[in-house]
A = this chain, B = another copy of it.
Amino acid sequence: MGHRITVKQIADELGVSMMTVSRALNDSPNIEAKTREKVLATAKKMGYIQNHIARSLVQRKTNTIGVVVPEITHSFFPEVIRGVEEVTYANNYQLILTHSAENAKREINAIDTLASKRVDGILISTAESAKSSKKYKQIMEMGMYIVFFDRCVHNIGASCVRIEDEKSSYKITEHLISYGYTKIAHLSGPTSVSIGQTRLNGFKKALKKNNIDLNKKYIVESGFHEDGGYSAMKKILDLPKKEWPRAIVAVNDPAAFGAMKAILEVGLKVPEDIAIVGFSDDIRSELMPAPLTTMRQPAYQIGKKAAEKLIKHIQNKDEIVEDIIIDSELIIRKSCGIYK
């Protein structure tokens, strides 16, 4: 290993104690301005870079937070990370990013990684295949804080930053209904994930409110990805032609993209033959051949709020646990059937 300067070396160089060097480096009080400057100058000259490992060990605090995202390539998440990053940067926290690839086992692995690095807190959006909340609880018992975002776990004492999924889903479904559609299918997420359940609920409630009977064949689990949306839509198109739905509510935009592909493949048109709406306002949504009507989730905002809340929890034991709701926005484009 190359030359790594330590506090001791600086101290020896100047003939002072290690504590004096430490104090100067950390802007502590009770040190003469002249001494501080001398130390700082020498540290810089010698190319000193603080060893956070050692510092964290003795302070039992890392000034670091971890993030677990299910899929870094979905435009929603980088945008969230951007928001998180802005807050951590401003508050002098460091950030460790991990990735579950929508896989429960990898999510647990990621959380263990973060825990073993003794981060002060973790931001999580749960993986598609996540089933148990045991790991989250274990982490919290260790004294680490968790704030969920978008895909939350409730009633385990962690805060959560999200949009009103059920209402939003209700609203976008009603929007379709307002055009006269009654044969409406839902491509759902797994109900073990919060947004899978809540968006399904909103969908069902909208039908009920408008006296539309629920056709069980019209609820197909697609998961959150494009390929899942594609195969779920295929399954629907396997129904006899006269049973085909006239409109689709997809659990999110990527699933909607996959469904659109399946629809186009059988020679049907969006929205003329089948209308479709999504959720999240992916970066690609407005660029689609049939621009996608969707519920915008302000990703940057969500990241920012989640990071802020987490830091508050870390810095104040008594910070209240709460659901923080961010406004969503219905973005009407062409895919839902009307275009001005």
Interface of A with B (CB < 8 Å)?
1-4, 47, 49-54, 56-57, 60, 62, 64, 72-73, 75, 77-79, 81-82, 85, 89, 94-99, 101, 106, 109, 112-113, 115-118, 138, 140-144, 283-284, 287-289
Inter-subunit contact B283/A49 (CB<8 Å):
no
Inter-subunit contact B96/A143 (CB<8 Å):
no
Checking B2, B54, B106 against A89 with a beta-carbon cut-off of 8 angstroms, the contacting residue is B106
A selection of 7 A-B contacts at a CB cut-off of 8 Å is: A1-B60, A2-B142, A3-B142, A49-B115, A53-B118, A57-B57, A287-B289
Q: What's the Cα separation between A287 and B3 when bound, in Å?
A: 51
Given the interface contacts A4-B143, A78-B73, A284-B283, does A51 sit within 8 Å of B116 by beta carbon?
yes
Given the interface contacts A95-B98, A138-B47, A284-B284, does A52 sit within 8 Å of B4 by beta carbon?
no
Q: What's the Cα separation between A64 and B287 when bound, in Å?
A: 39
Inter-subunit contact B62/A53 (CB<8 Å):
yes
Q: What's the Cα separation between A48 and B95 when bound, in Å?
A: 24
Least CB distance, A46 to chain B, in whole angstroms: 11
Chain A contact residues, majority secondary structure: mixed
Least CB distance, A48 to chain B, in whole angstroms: 10
Residues of the B chain whose Cβ atoms lie less than 8 Å from the Cβ of A57: 53-54, 57
Q: What's the Cα separation between A226 and B117 when bound, in Å?
A: 37
Inter-subunit contact A3/B141 (CB<8 Å):
yes
Residues of the B chain whose Cβ atoms lie less than 8 Å from the Cβ of A77: 78
Residues of the B chain whose Cβ atoms lie less than 8 Å from the Cβ of A73: 75, 78-79, 82
Inter-subunit contact A72/B82 (CB<8 Å):
yes
Residues of the B chain whose Cβ atoms lie less than 8 Å from the Cβ of A117: 52-53, 64, 94
Inter-subunit contact A113/B94 (CB<8 Å):
yes
Residues of the B chain whose Cβ atoms lie less than 8 Å from the Cβ of A106: 89
Inter-subunit contact A50/B97 (CB<8 Å):
no
Q: What's the Cα separation between A77 and B78 when bound, in Å?
A: 10
Q: What's the Cα separation between A85 and B101 when bound, in Å?
A: 10
Least CB distance, A132 to chain B, in whole angstroms: 15
Inter-subunit contact B94/A97 (CB<8 Å):
no
Inter-subunit contact B95/A2 (CB<8 Å):
no
Inter-subunit contact A53/B51 (CB<8 Å):
no
Q: What's the Cα separation between A99 and B47 when bound, in Å?
A: 23
Least CB distance, A69 to chain B, in whole angstroms: 10
Residues of the B chain whose Cβ atoms lie less than 8 Å from the Cβ of A96: 94-97
Inter-subunit contact B2/A116 (CB<8 Å):
no
Residues of the B chain whose Cβ atoms lie less than 8 Å from the Cβ of A289: 287
Residues of the B chain whose Cβ atoms lie less than 8 Å from the Cβ of A62: 53
Residues of the B chain whose Cβ atoms lie less than 8 Å from the Cβ of A113: 94
